[in-house]
Amino acid sequence: MSTQSPAGSAEATRGVIDAYLARLDERDLDGAVRLFSDDAEWVAPGSPAVPWSGNRTGQAGVKEFFTLLHEYLRPEEFTVTHIVVDGEQGVIIGHLRDTVKANGKPLTTPFAAHLTVVGGQVKRYHLFEDTYALHRAATGG
Protein backbone atom coordinates (compact mmCIF):
# COMPACT_ATOMS: atom_id res chain seq x y z
CA MET A 1 0.00 0.00 0.00
CA SER A 2 1.44 3.36 -0.98
CA THR A 3 1.35 6.49 1.14
CA GLN A 4 -0.57 9.22 -0.64
CA SER A 5 -0.16 12.95 -0.35
CA PRO A 6 -3.09 15.22 -1.33
CA ALA A 7 -1.37 16.11 -4.63
CA GLY A 8 -0.90 12.41 -5.41
CA SER A 9 -4.29 11.24 -4.21
CA ALA A 10 -6.51 8.96 -6.23
CA GLU A 11 -9.15 11.71 -6.31
CA ALA A 12 -6.73 14.21 -7.86
CA THR A 13 -5.55 11.65 -10.40
CA ARG A 14 -9.12 10.70 -11.31
CA GLY A 15 -9.98 14.39 -11.72
CA VAL A 16 -7.16 14.92 -14.23
CA ILE A 17 -8.11 11.75 -16.14
CA ASP A 18 -11.76 12.81 -16.28
CA ALA A 19 -10.75 16.30 -17.47
CA TYR A 20 -8.47 14.77 -20.15
CA LEU A 21 -11.21 12.49 -21.47
CA ALA A 22 -13.72 15.36 -21.46
CA ARG A 23 -11.32 17.54 -23.50
CA LEU A 24 -10.82 14.70 -26.01
CA ASP A 25 -14.58 14.21 -26.28
CA GLU A 26 -15.04 17.95 -26.91
CA ARG A 27 -12.18 17.90 -29.46
CA ASP A 28 -10.46 20.54 -27.30
CA LEU A 29 -6.86 19.70 -28.21
CA ASP A 30 -5.36 22.76 -26.51
CA GLY A 31 -7.30 22.01 -23.32
CA ALA A 32 -6.12 18.39 -23.33
CA VAL A 33 -2.50 19.45 -23.94
CA ARG A 34 -2.59 21.91 -21.02
CA LEU A 35 -3.22 18.97 -18.68
CA PHE A 36 0.32 17.72 -19.37
CA SER A 37 3.43 19.05 -17.64
CA ASP A 38 6.04 20.98 -19.62
CA ASP A 39 8.39 18.01 -19.30
CA ALA A 40 5.82 15.22 -19.68
CA GLU A 41 7.03 11.95 -21.14
CA TRP A 42 4.74 10.59 -23.90
CA VAL A 43 5.30 6.99 -25.04
CA ALA A 44 3.35 5.54 -27.98
CA PRO A 45 5.22 2.51 -29.34
CA GLY A 46 4.66 1.55 -32.94
CA SER A 47 5.93 1.16 -36.44
CA PRO A 48 8.18 3.77 -38.09
CA ALA A 49 5.55 3.73 -40.87
CA VAL A 50 3.05 5.28 -38.43
CA PRO A 51 3.93 8.99 -38.15
CA TRP A 52 2.28 9.59 -34.75
CA SER A 53 4.02 6.64 -33.07
CA GLY A 54 7.07 7.12 -30.92
CA ASN A 55 8.26 8.96 -27.86
CA ARG A 56 7.68 12.67 -27.34
CA THR A 57 8.32 15.19 -24.60
CA GLY A 58 6.31 18.03 -23.10
CA GLN A 59 3.17 19.78 -24.20
CA ALA A 60 4.60 20.37 -27.69
CA GLY A 61 5.19 16.64 -28.11
CA VAL A 62 1.66 15.78 -26.96
CA LYS A 63 0.22 18.34 -29.38
CA GLU A 64 2.34 16.92 -32.22
CA PHE A 65 1.00 13.41 -31.50
CA PHE A 66 -2.63 14.51 -31.71
CA THR A 67 -2.05 16.78 -34.70
CA LEU A 68 -0.52 13.90 -36.68
CA LEU A 69 -3.14 11.45 -35.46
CA HIS A 70 -5.98 13.68 -36.67
CA GLU A 71 -4.18 14.38 -39.95
CA TYR A 72 -4.00 10.66 -40.78
CA LEU A 73 -7.08 9.16 -39.10
CA ARG A 74 -10.82 9.79 -39.11
CA PRO A 75 -12.10 8.84 -35.64
CA GLU A 76 -15.31 6.82 -35.53
CA GLU A 77 -15.51 5.35 -32.04
CA PHE A 78 -13.59 5.90 -28.81
CA THR A 79 -15.03 3.96 -25.88
CA VAL A 80 -13.63 3.91 -22.37
CA THR A 81 -14.69 0.78 -20.48
CA HIS A 82 -12.61 1.09 -17.30
CA ILE A 83 -10.59 3.63 -15.35
CA VAL A 84 -8.40 2.31 -12.55
CA VAL A 85 -6.64 4.70 -10.18
CA ASP A 86 -4.11 4.08 -7.41
CA GLY A 87 -2.60 7.26 -5.98
CA GLU A 88 -0.82 9.14 -8.75
CA GLN A 89 -1.14 6.19 -11.17
CA GLY A 90 -4.12 5.79 -13.46
CA VAL A 91 -5.05 3.43 -16.29
CA ILE A 92 -7.66 4.07 -18.96
CA ILE A 93 -8.91 0.94 -20.77
CA GLY A 94 -11.13 0.82 -23.82
CA HIS A 95 -11.35 0.30 -27.54
CA LEU A 96 -11.39 2.50 -30.61
CA ARG A 97 -12.25 2.41 -34.28
CA ASP A 98 -10.80 4.80 -36.84
CA THR A 99 -10.38 4.95 -40.60
CA VAL A 100 -7.06 5.75 -42.27
CA LYS A 101 -7.81 8.76 -44.46
CA ALA A 102 -5.27 7.93 -47.17
CA ASN A 103 -6.45 4.39 -47.93
CA GLY A 104 -9.84 3.95 -46.27
CA LYS A 105 -8.57 1.03 -44.18
CA PRO A 106 -10.27 0.48 -40.84
CA LEU A 107 -8.33 0.42 -37.60
CA THR A 108 -9.96 -1.31 -34.66
CA THR A 109 -7.95 -1.91 -31.50
CA PRO A 110 -8.29 -2.26 -27.77
CA PHE A 111 -6.15 0.24 -25.90
CA ALA A 112 -4.85 1.05 -22.46
CA ALA A 113 -3.14 4.23 -21.37
CA HIS A 114 -1.06 4.38 -18.18
CA LEU A 115 -0.82 7.90 -16.76
CA THR A 116 1.22 9.29 -13.90
CA VAL A 117 -0.29 12.48 -12.48
CA VAL A 118 1.90 14.74 -10.35
CA GLY A 119 0.87 18.15 -9.09
CA GLY A 120 -2.36 18.11 -11.08
CA GLN A 121 -0.67 17.44 -14.43
CA VAL A 122 0.14 14.35 -16.45
CA LYS A 123 3.85 13.68 -16.01
CA ARG A 124 4.00 10.40 -17.96
CA TYR A 125 1.66 8.81 -20.50
CA HIS A 126 2.25 5.36 -21.96
CA LEU A 127 -0.14 4.16 -24.66
CA PHE A 128 -0.71 0.45 -25.29
CA GLU A 129 -2.59 -0.67 -28.41
CA ASP A 130 -2.44 -3.28 -31.17
CA THR A 131 0.58 -1.84 -32.98
CA TYR A 132 0.48 -4.60 -35.61
CA ALA A 133 -3.10 -3.71 -36.56
CA LEU A 134 -2.09 -0.05 -36.57
CA HIS A 135 0.85 -0.75 -38.92
CA ARG A 136 -1.32 -2.85 -41.26
CA ALA A 137 -4.05 -0.20 -41.46
CA ALA A 138 -1.59 2.68 -41.96
CA THR A 139 0.40 0.88 -44.67
CA GLY A 140 -2.58 -0.79 -46.35
CA GLY A 141 -0.92 -4.17 -45.72
Q: Assign residue 123 a region: left if phi > 0, alpha if psi is -120 to 50, beta otherwise? A: alpha
For 50-63, write each residue's pLDDT tens digit: 999 999 999 999 99
Task: Answer whether 108's CB lies under 8 Å from 96's CB.
Answer: yes
* Mean pLDDT value of segment 86-112: 96
pLDDT(105) > 60: yes
pLDDT of residue 8: 60
pLDDT(41) > 90: yes
For the chain, give the mean pLDDT. 93
